[in-house]
């Protein structure tokens, strides 16, 4: 019930933004969830379903704060968020923090691994990227938009999110970065 309420609230906010002249791709507000839940296990374990990494598991990432970035290479809002995402990786380098891209394609040409590899190189992305060509992880987590960023705590619980294009210094960025600091400071056993 709470999940439906969260998505309904996001949809109403997005519609309100569109009616008010600011389009959805300007981004919904970042925020903490009223109730955290465990992130679903990654749905792709084959080596060819990962770029910049061997296949990862959330169990193997336990003890790290994880930022999941749902994107597709046909999404300009995703592209425009990459400079911020790369900055976040540099800002928290040396901390138990990991960015993981989830490439969830919209069109057939976005399912071609070599095309995604070219975009990863073009945008200088060095973090692991899971190819979610069948959208199984997209469905498992309940995602609806590109880009969407989910922030997981050290136990693998989804603790915050943001939807939409994100830039250094904007509301989404500052909220997520503050939440990353809070989660890094939390006791791992919490």
83-101 pLDDT, tens digit per residue, is: 999 999 999 999 999 999 9
Structure tokens at 157: 């619980």
Q: Kindly state whether residue 158 falls inside one of the protein's structural domains.
A: yes
pLDDT at 17: 39
- Residues 140, 42 contacting (CB under 8 angstroms): no
Instruction: Determine the pLDDT at residue 59.
Output: 97
Range of the domain at 132: 29-185
Residue 1 within any structural domain of the chain = no
Q: Give me the number of domains the chain comprises.
A: 1
- Residue 28 reports pLDDT greater than 60: no
Residue 17 is assigned to a structural domain of this protein: no
Percent of the chain scored above 70 by pLDDT?
Answer: 81
Res 187: pLDDT: 85
pTM of the model: 0.83
Predicted local distance difference test score (pLDDT) of residue 29: 52
CATH label of the domain that carries residue 181: 3.40.30.10
Of the two residues 16 and 121, the one the predictor is more confident about is: 121
Residue 190 counted as domain residue = no
Distances (CA, A) of 126 to 7, 31, 35, 38, 161: 31, 26, 31, 26, 22
């Amino acid at each position: 019930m709470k999940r439906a309420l969260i998505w309904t609230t996001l949809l109403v906010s997005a519609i309100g933004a569109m009616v008010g002249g600011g389009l959805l791709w300007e981004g919904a507000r970042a925020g903490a969830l009223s109730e955290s839940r465990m992130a679903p296990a990654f749905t792709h374990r084959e080596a060819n379903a990962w770029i910049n990494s061997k296949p990862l598991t959330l169990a193997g990432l336990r003890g790290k704060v994880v930022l999941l970035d749902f994107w597709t290479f046909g999404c300009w809002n995703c592209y425009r968020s990459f400079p911020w995402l790369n900055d976040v990786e540099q800002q928290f380098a040396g901390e138990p923090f990991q960015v993981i891209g989830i490439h969830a394609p919209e069109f057939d040409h976005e399912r071609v691994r070599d095309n995604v590899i070219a975009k990863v190189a073009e945008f200088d992305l060095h973090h692991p990227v899971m190819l979610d060509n069948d959208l199984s992880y997209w469905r498992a987590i309940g995602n609806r938009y590109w880009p969407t960023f989910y922030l997981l705590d050290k136990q693998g619980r989804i603790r915050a999110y943001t939807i939409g294009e994100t830039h250094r210094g904007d509301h989404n960025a500052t909220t997520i970065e503050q939440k990353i600091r809070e989660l890094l400071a939390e006791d791992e056993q919490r």
